[in-house]
Structure 1
Amino acid sequence: MESAALEAPRNKSKDPPGFTWAALASTLAWIAALWLIVLALHLTPALFAALVTYGGTRALARLLERWRPGLRYAQAWGLALLLLMIGIVGSVLVGYAVDTAETGGYAGLLHEMAHALERLRQDLPSWLAAHLPTSLEALHRVAVVWLHDHAAQLQLWGGDALRGVGYVLIGATTGGLMALQLPVNPTGMLPQSPTAAMRREFDGLVRSFTAVVFAQLRIAILNTALTALYLLGVLPLLGMPLPLPGTLLTLTFTAGLLPVVGNLISNTVIMIVSLRYSALGAALSLAWLVAIHKLEYFLNAHIIGHRIRARTWELLIAMLALQAMFGLGGLIGAPVLYAQIKQALHERGWLD
């Protein structure tokens, strides 16, 4: 009896089934090797493009197989359907952008920003107002001068942007080829072989990325809804309705698909347009939008953390740490990286 009583606590202290420190180190090593290469070489756009293409193709292929069991070349049909969907969405967005430009949406937004700066000149002291453009033409001249003074830096940014587009195309091509060539249910692999380990980690990465993408979509929708409440509800009640609310909300949603940094883009435009009425209106807009921006940090961590079984503070620490080490790429990749680690440990029974 005594030995049984002593054995029970001893069993409770045992590690989870299959757990060894060597197995844990091996699991984390695969993940760390991938992300160190991606973040150090700034390949996050290529990785995300590959995951979108691969995951989208596999998801559409599964839907087609449910609709028509035994469908041949389901992966090829899934890839073709994904490309068709991307083409349709891209055409709609381009058409909307062209229509907005032709109807004065973007030009009107520039005019509103110029009027806002003019109103700000009237409210500020003369010594400070002298540094602001006096008209839309002056604003254009300031922009031209700034472009001339920063030509070398802009050339560098242009090269980085072009390189990023190339990475996206290469990543999308790679993801499509992997979806076509990798077996859906791999068989014949030794469970402990490096090939099997790489396939397990890649499948886990795809699942983690999918969870984070859908969570970010929810965050963008929520962010747009809160901004719409402000633009269409709060400001009209205060007698300060902003012009072009549709354009501003479209910008808010599109930019909101970028984690955290997207809000900075839309918030800056909305705050400048708010200067049309007064510095008080701009201050109110700044306070509201900063509150939304700070809330997004916690919503991002909470919503994504819920999908990957991570607490809010865990994900915040991961985001801050990777941002400090790798900049914007680290900030964007942090939720996916942490989701991959948590999911790998959970699937092995090493986490509850």
Structure 2
Amino acid sequence: MTSTNFPPAAPEFSTTRAIVVVLWVCAFWFSVLALHLTPAVFAILITYGSTSRLARHLKTWRPSLRHTEGIALLFVLSVLGLGFGTALEYVVESSKSTAGLPALLERLSQVLDQLRLALPAALSAHLPASIDAVRATATTWLQNHAGQLQTWGGHTIRGVGYVLAGAVVGGLLSIQLPATKSEHTDKPLPRLIRQRFDELIESFTHIVFAQFKISTVNTLATAILLLGVLPALGTPIPLAGTLVGITFVAGLIPIVGNLVSNSIIVAIAISQSLTMATLALVWLVLIHKVEYFLNAHIIGSRIRSKAWELLLIMLVMEALFGLAGLVTAPVLYAQIKNTLYAQGWLD
């Protein structure tokens, strides 16, 4: 009498569990995006994730140190407050100065004038005739969209409030949430919620800190070009400091951010000379190639994904939810892939 070996039922349970978890992740993020709570959720995750990571380092460095979460939270809030205050001060000062963002817009307008002269008539006819035309068009647009701009202003104020509220919630979580992981929780529902929360924090911190490293490297390389190489060659580029700041902020958005900052830098360089534009373009292309491998090493090793995968999910999320979807896409994708790896769906 021969016996039949039946396959175990565990893979079916794992498949069902993976589908449920992926649907839960998508439902969570789609709800956040639909309710426009992305700033609040990101503030919660940044505050909690940074505080928890710093507290762990403090405990490793000084095991006898007490109140590590409180010390870490105070440091994180101080850094965030300093960064926010510095950015606000820069925006206010640049609005009064000729060396900030207004000068950048003025330079871009001059680039349009030069392009109008260089391009064929059929193409240049679609460009503004002068800087005054640009200003007139902008003024007309502002007048026609005054109500929409007022709504945007309200959304901006609301977004700042969401960020502050999220920072408070993240700080309270870092102090009051037990440090034990989900597997050490007895009750099923708290264990499930904590497990999902731990996965979210892990995916978020992997993406954010990895992208921060990439943006820092890209900004340093760009600063070498704008503040070192070009001035040494006797061809300094205008608004170099502003462009370096834009490079860092834009670089926090994977893939797309660097395309934006690089386009602005090349456009400014074109207004100076073709040689400067060519040098800037070659340098930025080399930086982009280095960053591509860096991106694959840092982010790809964390969530084991290719650049085209991230770009595709970012395009879809941007089409569905706009800028908030674009920023959220890497975190959503990282959390989904980590879940699929954990359940054995991916090798």
TM-score bucket of the superposed structures, by smaller chain: 0.7 to 0.9
Change (3 A) 1:227 1:64: closer
Contact kept in structure 2, 1:256 and 1:263, CA below 8 Å? yes
Report sequence identity in percent.
47
Cα distance in 2 for residues equivalent to 1:278 and 1:95: 33
Contact kept in structure 1, 2:112 and 2:127, CA below 8 Å? no
Following superposition, the deviation at residue 295 of structure 1 comes to: 9.0
State whether structure 2 residue 31 is matched by structure 1 residue 41. Answer: no
Structure 1 match to 2:46: 52
Following superposition, the deviation at residue 216 of structure 1 comes to: 1.0
Following superposition, the deviation at residue 111 of structure 1 comes to: 4.5
Change (3 A) 1:341 1:118: closer
Report the number of matched residues: 344
Structure 2 match to 1:330: 325
Contact kept in structure 1, 2:116 and 2:127, CA below 8 Å? no
Mapping 1:1-352, distance limit 5 Å: 19-94=13-88, 104-106=98-100, 107-124=102-119, 128=124, 132=128, 134-135=130-131, 139-185=134-180, 189-190=185-186, 193-225=188-220, 227-228=222-223, 231=226, 241-263=236-258, 265-277=260-272, 300=295, 303-347=298-342, 351-352=346-347
Cα distance in 2 for residues equivalent to 1:144 and 1:314: 40
Q: Give the match's secondary structure for 2:194.
A: helix
Change (3 A) 1:244 1:313: closer
* Alignment TM-score, normalising by the size of structure 1: 0.77
* Alignment TM-score, normalising by the size of structure 2: 0.78
Change (3 A) 1:334 1:194: same
Change (3 A) 1:279 1:129: farther
Contact kept in structure 2, 1:28 and 1:341, CA below 8 Å? yes
Q: CA RMSD in A?
A: 4.2
Question: What stretches of structure 2 of length at least 5 have no aligned partner?
Answer: none
Question: What stretches of structure 1 of length at least 5 have no aligned partner?
Answer: none
Change (3 A) 1:288 1:147: farther
The one-letter code sitting in structure 1 at the alignment partner of 2:328 is G
The one-letter code sitting in structure 1 at the alignment partner of 2:332 is L
The one-letter code sitting in structure 2 at the alignment partner of 1:116 is V
Contact kept in structure 2, 1:16 and 1:349, CA below 8 Å? no
